[in-house]
Amino acid sequence: MPIVYEQLMALKNLGQKYSYSDRDVMLYAYGIGLGADPMDEKELAFVNEGVLTPRPLKVVPTFASVAAWGAGPGEMNLNRVMVVDGERDITFHKPFATAAHITADSTVLDVFDKGKDKGAVIRHQTVLKDEKGEKLATLVASRFARGDGGFGGPSDGQPEPHKVPERAPDKIVDITTRPDQALVYRLCGDRNPLHSDPEFARKAGFPRPILHGMCTYGITCRGVLQTYADFDPSAFKQHVARFSSPVFPGETVTMELWKDGNVVSFEAKVKSRGVTVIKSGKTVLA
């Protein structure tokens, strides 16, 4: 069914209700690899609340991406087999509590027609709010619907990607993923069999299940946390990344980071295959 531009732009879903607990917060942190070293006190603060010496449990900023898993503006009637995640941009308004009841308001921002046989780009926004109605985070997702172009919509006006500096990186950090990491991360909400079922992955054209793009997104947040944010979630004001290639569980993700004032630019690569998996990354710190 071809895209009907006016109908897609009119989609909205307000007041969606969700809740989460400290278990969800810790599972997400573990899902993006925090706590791999069970003696690292800085990482344990995200996966263990502490007992003999009590300490507050910290919430990874990009937990916002799964706090209201499934929230969206409504059914878009896209060719799902051909839809891939293009970009995620989260603006953080206030730190997340370790457990809460929240609401999600979702709307469509833009629909761009790249042309017949070239696909379409849909940008939609979800605003998460606490019980007082105060904004927690604004999530903007960009989907590339490869099989839905040529519907006669606008082609111009897409936001320009962030440009990383041309100089050598200020820091380089290697983050190792576990072979079973996708099996853990999927418990945060995304049960797509592409990330867990070898047979399904082969039919989709991959030799084995791939890591969730949003897990890689969380890993890049982790990289900024440990380098320029001193493991302080409240330091994050925005985290943006473009997905360019998948990661296979067990691979090492190498982040290259540049810091200019309160802006951290980054890209991520898997050197063993010579591929860039995240492009045009940007974190704005307080």
Catalytic residue among 110, 124, 148, 195: 195
Q: Give how far Cα 243 sits from Cα of 171, 177, 267, Å.
A: 21, 17, 10
142 close to 155: Cβ distance less than 8 angstroms: no
Instruction: Give Cα 23 distance to the centre of its chain.
Output: 19
149 close to 134: Cβ distance less than 8 angstroms: no
Count of other CB atoms within 10 angstroms of residue 226: 18
216 close to 278: Cβ distance less than 8 angstroms: yes
Look up 156 and say whether it is catalytic: no
Catalytic residue among 190, 230, 232, 239: 190
Taking phi over 0 as left and psi of -120 to 50 as alpha, with beta for the rest, 165 belongs to: beta
The Cβ-side half-sphere exposure at 83, using a 13 Å CA radius, reads 13
3-state secondary structure of 219: helix
With CA atoms as reference, report the closest residue to 69 among 23, 108, 17. 17
Look up 212 and say whether it is catalytic: no
The Cβ-side half-sphere exposure at 217, using a 13 Å CA radius, reads 26
For tokens 């969730």, name the residue. Answer: 212
Q: Exposed, middle or buried: residue 184 (CB in 10 Å: 0-12, 13-18, 19+)?
A: middle
With CA atoms as reference, report the closest residue to 253 among 285, 211, 282. 211
What is the rounded distance in angstroms from the CA atom of residue 140 to the CA atom of residue 66?
13
Residues serving a catalytic function are 190, 195
